[in-house]
């Protein structure tokens, strides 16, 4: 879960060591968890409790999806019972390892390292402060601090994976690149504090409209990216037009100033003609340039 930084008018004081530890302890959500040490989403935590079985595998319906050919579709699972957290290999092709030893069924101990394919997970039982620390590290490395959406690094990794899946499974994929029109004029006229407000507000408007499995990122400066999948046509152009109209119709007001904001959008739907993620990004960027050259506040889609 992401958070938006406080506004510039908020006084931020450096916390003491004691208050920091208390804050971290308050973040604990369960008696045990897994932390990703190596692989996708480094630093992310997965809570374990007695009410659910946590599944690991290549299939997208798993709680922890490890997208690598060495991982079975349903690879392993963890269940918490009266004795503790029990790891069970689901007859995977290449095995599940705990502290470098292959296991079929084992109860985990605090600090154990679970290896599934190239991904390594650390089991934490009662290490509340350490788990919270890893969650903080994850947030800082994956999300944009100003807007609260994913950052450029996350986008670069995600689109590489999604284009690969589109090639392998012909999975629907669309990419939108959009830019805030005349953003420099906004900064020059009202100041950078107002510019930061506009960036945050636009990002959260689009994030609020996106579905849970869509991907919204700050691509750089005043430019953002959205990846859509699991859709039917004409889903992407309808979504693009909706967020364009949403931003245009929103009342942006900051420190007594009302600012008129619009966005220009370039849209590309994946096809086999795009051999890699770079080609798809370039196509979306050309469409974005076309939208701005055509008068801004519009959507231009690739043919």
Residue of 280 and 47 predicted with greater confidence: 280
CA distances from 118 to 37, 71, 110, 158 (A): 10, 9, 21, 17
Average pLDDT over residues 136-162: 88
pLDDT digits (tens, 9 = 90+) for 33-77: 888 888 777 778 888 888 789 999 998 889 999 878 899 999 999
Q: Which pLDDT value is given to residue 17?
A: 41
The verdict on whether omega for the bond into residue 217 sits within 30 degrees of 0, i.e. cis, is no
Q: Which pLDDT value is given to residue 5?
A: 42
Mutual orientation of helices 235-249 and 192-209 as an angle, nearest 10°?
A: 140
- Pull the structure tokens for residue 272: 């086999």
The answer to whether residues 176 and 284 touch, using CB atoms and an 8 Å cutoff, is yes
Name the β-bridge partners of 174. 228, 269
Residue 14 pLDDT exceeds 90 = no
Q: Which residues are catalytic?
A: 222
* Superfamily (CATH) of domain 143-301: Reverse transcriptase/Diguanylate cyclase domain (3.30.70.270)
Q: Which pLDDT value is given to residue 42?
A: 74
Residue 131 pLDDT exceeds 70 = no
Residue 150 pLDDT exceeds 50 = yes
Residue 185 pLDDT exceeds 70 = yes
Average pLDDT over residues 221-235: 94
Cβ count near 285 (within 10 Å)? 17
Q: Which pLDDT value is given to residue 107?
A: 95
Name the β-bridge partners of 121. 36, 114
Give 139: exposed, middle or buried? Use CB within 10 Å, 0-12, 13-18, 19+.
middle
**How far from chain centre, in Å, is Cα 98?**
28
Architecture in CATH for domain 21-136? Sandwich (2.60)
The answer to whether residues 103 and 87 touch, using CB atoms and an 8 Å cutoff, is yes
What residue spans define the domains of the chain?
A: 21-136, 143-301
Q: Which pLDDT value is given to residue 132?
A: 65
Q: Do domains 21-136 and 143-301 have the same CATH topology?
A: no
For every residue of 84-109, which 3-state class applies, written as one string?
A: EEEEEECCCCCCEEECCEEECEEECC
- Pull the structure tokens for residue 181: 């029109």
Cβ count near 221 (within 10 Å)? 11
Question: What share of the chain has pLDDT > 70, as a percent?
Answer: 86
Residue of 167 and 20 predicted with greater confidence: 167
The answer to whether residues 300 and 267 touch, using CB atoms and an 8 Å cutoff, is yes
Q: For residue 125, which of 51, 178, 49, 57 has the smallest C-alpha distance?
A: 49
Q: Average pLDDT over the chain, rounded to whole?
A: 86
pLDDT digits (tens, 9 = 90+) for 90-118: 999 999 999 999 999 999 998 899 999 98
């Amino acid at each position: 879960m992401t958070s938006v930084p406080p506004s510039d008018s908020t006084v931020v004081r450096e916390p003491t060591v004691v208050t920091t530890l208390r804050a971290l302890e308050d973040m604990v959500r369960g008696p045990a968890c897994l932390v990703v040490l190596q692989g996708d989403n480094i630093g992310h935590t997965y809570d374990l409790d007695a009410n659910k079985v946590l599944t690991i595998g290549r299939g997208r319906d798993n709680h922890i999806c490890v997208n690598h050919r060495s991982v079975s579709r349903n690879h392993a699972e963890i269940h918490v019972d009266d004795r503790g957290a029990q790891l069970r290999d689901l007859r995977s092709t290449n095995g599940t390892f705990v502290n470098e030893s292959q296991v079929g069924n084992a109860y985990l101990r605090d600090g154990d390292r679970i290896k599934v394919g190239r991904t390594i997970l650390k089991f934490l039982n009662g290490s509340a402060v350490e788990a919270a620390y890893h969650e903080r590290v994850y947030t800082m490395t994956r999300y944009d601090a100003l807007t609260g959406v994913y950052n450029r690094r996350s986008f670069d990794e995600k689109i590489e994976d999604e284009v690969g899946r589109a090639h392998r499974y012909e999975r629907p994929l669309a990419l939108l690149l959009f830019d805030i029109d005349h953003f420099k004029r906004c900064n020059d006229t009202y100041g950078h504090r107002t510019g930061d407000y506009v960036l945050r507000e636009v990002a959260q408007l689009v994030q609020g409209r996106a579905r849970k499995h869509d991907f919204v990122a700050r691509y750089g400066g005043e430019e953002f990216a959205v990846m859509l999948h699991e859709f039917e046509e004409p889903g992407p152009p309808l979504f693009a037009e909706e967020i364009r109209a949403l931003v245009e119709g929103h009342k942006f007001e900051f420190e007594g100033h009302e600012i008129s904001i619009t966005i220009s959008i370039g849209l590309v739907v994946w096809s086999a003609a795009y051999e890699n993620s770079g080609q798809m990004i370039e196509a979306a960027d050309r469409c974005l340039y076309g939208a701005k050259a055509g008068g801004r506040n519009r959507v231009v889609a690739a043919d």
